[in-house]
Chains A and B, each alone.
Chain A
Amino acid sequence: MAFDAESGISDEALLVLYANGDAEAARALTQRLAPRVLGFAARMLGGDLAEAEDVAQEAMLRLWRIAPEWRQGEAKVSTWVFRVASNLCTDRLRKRRGVALGELGADPADDSPGAEARLQAASRAEALEAALQDLPERQRQAVVLRHLEGLYNPEIAAVMEISVEAVESLTARGKRALAKALTGRRAELGYDDG
């Protein structure tokens, strides 16, 4: 049976189907989860795409391995994968601590006609990435999960293995620090101050 990434069937149901030998379920889960885990890992690792791909691949591999023993109803599949990816990112950040963070891979320059809006969006994204990298790791993680990956606070609490209150505190502090850092970029991005 074919499932596309948007079909109504839950991640958990797909994982059970996968464990029972359904090849299409693996494809749908990959399409749903791999891009999100990659985006999260890239932001946690300072835009290093090659390393983020390694993390995404490893997190997905661990999901395939746990599939036969998956206990239904205990955790959300996406939360579980984010938690694995989060731990993998933390390990890698620890290993390279002291080494300068990589530059964000994408070059926002775009010379094509009518590209002003795209250029501006790309500049904003770049400014955000730079500001995110200056946040303490836990704040960055909470802000990325909340505002870029769209997870709810209880899910983030499960990913980070902390309380919901701690998540709220981390995201609030992270947002304040981002607002402060990005205020200086507002003028150069062409915004009004008002």
Chain B
Amino acid sequence: MRRRLLATAASLLLPAGCGGHDAGTDAALKPCPIGDLNAPAELEIVHLDATDTVMQTQAMAQVPLLPPPQGGWIVLLGARARNIDGCQVTLTTALVDGCDQQIIQIDKRPTHLVPDADGWGTSTVTTFSNLPVCPQLTAKRDLHDVPYNVQVVIEDTGGHKASAAVTVVPACPPGDALCMCQCDRDYIIGSSCNPPPAGGHGTCPAKGL
């Protein structure tokens, strides 16, 4: 069962502990260690649900596909970590096809970790990774309701680094025909979704195809 974290959009909008609005000065240069920087960095993957609530990403979790402003469907992934500088972290996320281990797409950006009560820090909602999932011209399977791997790496400017991976199931909003069409293996951008592609391409293609 998914574990709901305490953080919400309202509480994680600004990078607390990393300075506030100071008109262009780089507050991120001020270090804000989370945990013990002499210990190995540790990482757990989190994601945002449709209401911007931070959820711990368990194996085979359904991760919602969300529409960004210029079309397509993304998942929003973040980090929960410790033993790292929470103000100077780069977050890299990758969507990986478990059939052949090919990386479908990568997103890399700064993230800011807000300390939790338990000594870990979680990405602010505004600094989650925007990992594009569909459409994908090169998809070999459907991109919704089918397991895919996500790989996450965090690294601070001091070289503290951790990585994690988990298998998730990207999921369209219930009843969203456009999402299911554009996340179908056979959808080609610019083509009509009326009628939609047939769907049902969840298995790995035979080797050699």
> Do A and B share a complex?
no
**Chain B residues in the interface with A (C-beta under 8 A):** none
A residues adjacent to B (C-beta < 8 A)? none
